[in-house]
Structure 1
Amino acid sequence: MKKHRSTRAALVRYARIATASAALALLASCGGGSDDNNSTPAGGIKLQVVSFGDSLSDVGTYTPVAAANFGGGRFTTNPGQVWVQDVAQYYGDTLTPAMTGGFGTPPAAQAGLGYAQGGSRVTNPVGIGHRGTDPANYAGALTVPVATQVTNYLTSHGSFNAGQLVIVNGGANDILYNLTAVQAGQMTPAQASAAIGQAAIDLAGIVGKIVQGGATHVLVSNVPDIGATPQGMMSTATTRALLSQASLGFNQALAAALTKTGLMSKVIFLDIAGPLANITANYQQYGFAVSNTGTGCNLQAMAAAAKAYGEPNPSDFATSLFCSPQTRTTPDADQTYMYADTVHPTTHLHALYAQTAEQKIAAAGLGK
């Protein structure tokens, strides 16, 4: 019996116990939203949305495997949308991936303007889940960094324009990557703090490049308090505090860099940590039954099933990327849980994230 098979073959084997219907896979691969050119969108103005960032904003980079074999495709309670898709829909646009691939499939350019990728860091190409770019398998996540995402857009399109809303997020994976290195004894806490702060400064520089490239409507979201996610709540008090401190440190460094360079007055700054803290504190008022103490996807069952099929890294499957209605903790978990997995929002929480962004955009005088 062969003990090592390709990642793609492994995914297909596991799919036997977690495959969603073809209709759900189609929804996941196509994304959400609509673009009715004959009506005024809910946001009161039509805007083309361009998005850069990480898994929080990934609209389907990994759909060739995740959607086709699992009914997954995005880091949420699939087939639900992520927040940038909700925002795009609000302004009359449909946001689809700019690139697909990974997990056994070579990267391929697509026509969409959703450049964000799960696992991506701000400038470093070795992100969370990255396992090399060997053309023979592309065994892990692509993790094209945010800086390269913007370069790829400018290479293809030349510039931004006044009819676009450009959304930027990033930094969470830099926090997780560096703190994991500290726990492994590969770097000191001081070195990790410096690296996280530099990532924030680099993200501000990327925002500057976007503005210089012609963008007039730029929404910049900072990072949520990772210590207040299920990952933080399931950790020791010390680790939870480190996650919160690192999140706050990144956000402070990002705000300072944007202010120092004169960019803060040129962008719409979304400080998402506060609104998410309010939702967590009052979760039942927002329609949730479970706050940050559980996950809407049954991660343990997903990992156990992968292990039973002989997967060498079963924990790779314990993520909302591969979550479908068949693997939810409860049938309505997409609406009643705040988090799909240990860090990613459910469909309902993504919608609230989007509403917060839309309110900030309206307060800036754009749309309604």
Structure 2
Amino acid sequence: MRKTSFALALLTAAVLTACGGTDPRPGDQTPKTKFSQQVAFGDSLSDVGSYAVGGVAAQGGGQYTINGDITSVNPELTGKNFTAVLAAQLGLPAPCAAQTGLQGTSSTNPALNFSVPVVMNANCFNYAQGGARVTNPIGPGNRALSAANAPVVLGATTVPVVTQIANHLAKAGGKFSGTELVVVTAGGNDVLEQLGELSAGATAAGGVALITSLVTQLAPGIPAANGADIVKNAAGQAAAAAGSTPQTIIAAAIGAAARAGHPTAVANQATIGATAGTAATSAGLQYSADHSKDVVTALGTAGAELAVLVKTQIVAKGATYVVVNNLPDVSIAPSVLAQSADTQKLVATMVSTFNAQLKAGLGDDAKILYVDLATVSHDQAVNPAPYGLTNTKDTACVVSDVTKNPLSSSLVCTKNNLISGDVSHYMFADGVHPTPFEYALIARYILLQMSGKGWI
């Protein structure tokens, strides 16, 4: 298979870093710039252990990848994300989480205890957190999103990037020294939450249509004057019950109608149910069609907001070496590939809109390196072999069996809950997060871009 230019670039970066740096000058592999430290802001892609406490730590987890040093099995299973690889290649201290702690469920079972006091770590400068968004404080895993009485609540703090930067400025005396390497990566959780809100809205619209259809079909056959209320109340109570499904709601409505004297409710239940189900599906699809533009707009706003933060709160505060990674192509992730073609297309549009606004907002600034992870990640998915990837569609970690992975996430993925076979060159650990091998590819690509900019 013909190697793409991106793959060739990564292979070149691998050779150069193996020689001790990314500068191709003969006889001199000393980096042009000696960074004082690495400061990282962002989400789970950069998080080096914000939640490596309590039950997460008890299960050997803490990062969103295949956790733990398993290099004895395969040299690619390092347990490191790209910020750790960058730091090692640049001779910087291994990054550590600036904040640790969880606000979730307290449990006597150490593996399920997610209630751990939040601590700020003075000498750690990786502020990235799983679930973090650009400005919105409520991201995936946050306790505020948990269902009432949920048995397992992670309670991720999901401190947004805007607050992460403010926390660093407070720690650093209100400014950057100008000698740090600042790395910014965000946007993925804005996609996930907007998509989740769209789905919830569609489900709610479908639920209303389901009950309306049941009332319309059943109420006329009930002798009592309040037939509509009888059906609506029964369906509503079923809908509010834990574990409700369209089938249980339909059954409750038909049962109530039959008890109230409807002569053919039970006999016609198949037709009644099918009609109500069709109405619910149509309403959900219509809601999604009507509101898809809203989530795309929201992602554009988030991209523009991130650009403003980089310009006004990082560069304007003294940073001179700022790597801003755009949002990888989330539409090729396993969790999105499991959705409909329309959803995949919508996610791709959300990503491209975020990235377009981010790039436009950053402009042309010598202090900022804009790294296009979206294009290279898409190329990896459609042309994996030149990158050394063996699988770009499946997850290396078991995520569907809660007895093996109670969070259904790579956050607690270890050698104990990998799928069978060699997963060392898989692209994805779980439905959206990279394996250590993919993180290494990301780091190599960033290093190559840094070299091209003359920073190393």
Aligned residue for 1:63, secondary structure, equals: coil
TM-score w.r.t. the length of structure 1 is 0.80
2:196 counterpart (164, 175, 180): 180
- Check conservation: 1:77, 1:346, Cα contact below 8 A: yes
Within 5 A, what are the aligned runs for 1:69-148?
A: 69-79=58-68, 80-93=79-92, 94-102=94-102, 103-110=114-121, 111-132=123-144, 139-148=154-163
Amino acid at match of 1:74: Q
Structure 1 unaligned blocks of 5 or more = 1-39, 307-313
* Matching residue of 1:273: 374
The offset of 1:130, in angstroms, is 0.6
- Check conservation: 2:87, 2:95, Cα contact below 8 A: yes
CA distance in 2 between counterparts of 1:97 and 1:70 reads: 18
Within 5 A, what are the aligned runs for 1:147-166?
A: 147-158=162-173, 159-166=175-182
2:184 counterpart (154, 162, 168): 168
Amino acid at match of 1:277: H
Amino acid at match of 1:115: Y
CA distance in 2 between counterparts of 1:165 and 1:66 reads: 32
2:352 counterpart (230, 248, 254): 248
Q: Deviation per CA, 1:146-196: give whole Å up to 9, x if none.
A: 000000000011221232100011111111111211121178223222221
The offset of 1:274, in angstroms, is 1.2
Q: Deviation per CA, 1:87-135: give whole Å up to 9, x if none.
A: 11111112111011113112101121100000001001111111149xx
Q: Deviation per CA, 1:320-347: give whole Å up to 9, x if none.
A: 00100111113642x2211000100000
CA distance in 1 between counterparts of 2:404 and 2:421 reads: 19
C-alpha spacing 1:86/1:185, structure 2 compared with 1 (3 Å): same
Q: Deviation per CA, 1:217-242: give whole Å up to 9, x if none.
A: 00001101111111121111111111
CA distance in 2 between counterparts of 1:268 and 1:99 reads: 26
C-alpha spacing 1:42/1:305, structure 2 compared with 1 (3 Å): farther
Within 5 A, what are the aligned runs for 1:1-368?
A: 45-47=33-35, 48-65=37-54, 68-79=57-68, 80-93=79-92, 94-102=94-102, 103-110=114-121, 111-132=123-144, 139-158=154-173, 159-185=175-201, 188-208=291-311, 209-259=313-363, 264-291=365-392, 293-301=393-401, 303-305=402-404, 314=406, 317-330=407-420, 332-333=422-423, 335-367=424-456
- Check conservation: 1:77, 1:297, Cα contact below 8 A: yes
Across the two proteins, how many residue pairs are aligned to each other? 311
CA distance in 1 between counterparts of 2:57 and 2:293 reads: 43
- Check conservation: 1:41, 1:91, Cα contact below 8 A: no
* Matching residue of 1:14: none
* Matching residue of 1:20: none
The offset of 1:356, in angstroms, is 0.5
Greater Cα offset, 180-189 or 220-229: 180-189
CA distance in 2 between counterparts of 1:235 and 1:42 reads: 47
CA distance in 2 between counterparts of 1:127 and 1:327 reads: 25
CA distance in 2 between counterparts of 1:114 and 1:233 reads: 31
- Check conservation: 1:53, 1:170, Cα contact below 8 A: yes
CA distance in 1 between counterparts of 2:307 and 2:433 reads: 23
Amino acid at match of 2:170: T
Amino acid at match of 1:172: G
CA distance in 2 between counterparts of 1:96 and 1:42 reads: 25
- Check conservation: 1:105, 1:138, Cα contact below 8 A: no
Identity over the aligned pairs, expressed in percent? 36
Aligned residue for 2:318, secondary structure, equals: coil
Amino acid at match of 2:367: K
Q: Which has the larger radius of gyration?
A: 2
TM-score w.r.t. the length of structure 2 is 0.65
Q: Deviation per CA, 1:53-75: give whole Å up to 9, x if none.
A: 00011011011135531111100
- Check conservation: 2:390, 2:426, Cα contact below 8 A: yes
Aligned residue for 1:297, secondary structure, equals: coil
Q: Deviation per CA, 1:250-308: give whole Å up to 9, x if none.
A: 1011111222xxx54430000111111222223223222211x100101123x2446xx
Greater Cα offset, 42-51 or 335-344: 42-51
* Matching residue of 2:251: none
CA distance in 2 between counterparts of 1:268 and 1:76 reads: 25
Aligned residue for 1:55, secondary structure, equals: coil
- Check conservation: 2:67, 2:415, Cα contact below 8 A: yes
Aligned residue for 1:318, secondary structure, equals: coil
The offset of 1:41, in angstroms, is 8.7
Amino acid at match of 2:53: P
- Check conservation: 1:106, 1:138, Cα contact below 8 A: no
